[in-house]
Amino acid sequence: MLDVIGRLTNLVALNLYSNYLVGSIPSSVSNLTNLASLFLQINQLDGSIPEDIGRLMNLVALNLSSNCLVCLISSSVTNLANLASLFLQCNLLNGSIPQEIGRLRNLVAINHSSNSLVDPILSSLSNLTNLASLVLQCNQLNGSITQEIGRLMNLVVFDLSSNSLDGPIPSSAFRHIPSSLSQLTTSVDLYDNKDLRGSIQGFVPCPSMKHNLVVIILVSTLLFLISFFVLVIFILCRQYRAKALKHDPSPTKNGDLFCIWNFDGKIAFEDIIRATEYFDIKYCIGTGGYGSVYRAVLPSGKVVALKKLHRLDAEQPAYDTSFQIETKVNIVKGVAHALSYMHHDFTPPIVHQDISSNNIFLNSEFVAFIADFGTARLLDPYSSNRTIIVGTYGYIAP
């Protein structure tokens, strides 16, 4: 299914979360270069994140959480310069977070929790100064918390719980947390680590799971609203650009008739009509069985040959009404009887060799007659004479 979606190159938002999708994410998804949001969470997707996903330069929100993705986090994700939210939690990802993630300066939310990520926390995360939520809980991160985390002044949620972190907690990393709990606007969770030491003024762990649940709901709602508004702004900007381009038409008048990029069927038809003066007979250079050929000089100076097809009799209003099924059956019976007579009841036998609807006549009562006997060939069973075939194979000229 996802392979077929790769053909929808104008798609802006793709939301297939909470289904039973299986298999790997196809690389054809990278063909959706206009995509702004990709939500595939809560499925059964496996394999790795496609390397070509870095081609989605307009992507703002990416959510692949709650699947069975394995291997490393693809470094191509760090090419998504417009990305605002990156949710990869609840997968089987291993290895370390790419060092290049610091290039995603527009990131507002990161959630890589419940994976098997290792190595220390990257100092390059401090480059993400717009980051409001950083959730890396339930991994295998080790080492100490880097001092540079203190540069994330917009951080609202900071969760490194259930890892293997050790060493002192740098007070400079949390200097923006006020001493008064009534002013506390940042949720910091560092519990269940290996050997974190130190105290932070005004910081206390959340005492109950109920409080954690409330925080998670509030943060999830906040992140959803942020992603939604970013997506709306992005779509409005695209519509504004489309309207601007629409009011600035490119000059296709008298353009190249044979160029598909600036071809305008209406303008081309008008040029042809003017060049042939409504297909005047003086421009006719030949007539065939299906139409007439005209010579025309286009406004661009090119001389072309144009073929105007004859109007078919079947296009006349008199032929608009189709036969009843009973009439069609009687016509087929009449043709069958006529062929049987020609082949078996007439001496010498006759093979028509050009039987078609053009050689079957109907009378006023729709009785079928086979005509055009000049195209027929008399078969003499005792003769081996042959003639030269003229025209279409199987057709003998009279």
Q: Taking the CB of residue 147, how many other CB atoms lie within 10 A of it? A: 13
Spatial separation of the C-alpha atoms in residues 142 and 167, rounded to whole Å: 10
- 380 belongs to the catalytic site: no
Q: Residue 41's closest CA among 52, 59, 28, 25?
A: 25
| Residue 210 in marked binding region | no
Under a CB-based contact definition with an 8 Å cutoff, are residues 164 and 193 in contact?
Answer: yes
What letter would DSSP give residue 237?
H
Tokens 């496996």 — which residue? 46
E strand intervals along 144-290: 157-159, 164-168, 187-189, 195-197, 284-287
Q: Which amino acid is at 340?
A: S
Q: Give the max Cα distance, the chain.
A: 119
Burial classification of residue 182, based on how many CB atoms lie within 10 Å of its CB (0-12 exposed, 13-18 middle, 19 or more buried): exposed
Q: What Å distances lie between residue 90 and 66, 114, 153, 156, 364, CA to CA?
A: 5, 5, 27, 21, 78
Write out the DSSP string of 286-319: EE-SSEEEEEEE-TTS-EEEEEEEPPPGGGSGGG
Give the CB-side neighbour count of residue 347, counting CA atoms within 13 A: 1
- CA 392 to chain CA centroid, nearest Å: 46
Q: Which of the following is catalytic: 46, 52, 256, 354?
A: 354
Q: What's the CA angle centered on 371, arms 367 and 373, to 5 degrees? A: 150
398 contacts: CB under 8 Å, gap ≥ 6: 374, 375
Instruction: Quote the radius of gyration of the chain (alpha carbons, Å).
Output: 38
Residues tagged active-site: 354
| Binding site per annotation, positions for ATP | 307
| Binding site per annotation, positions | 307
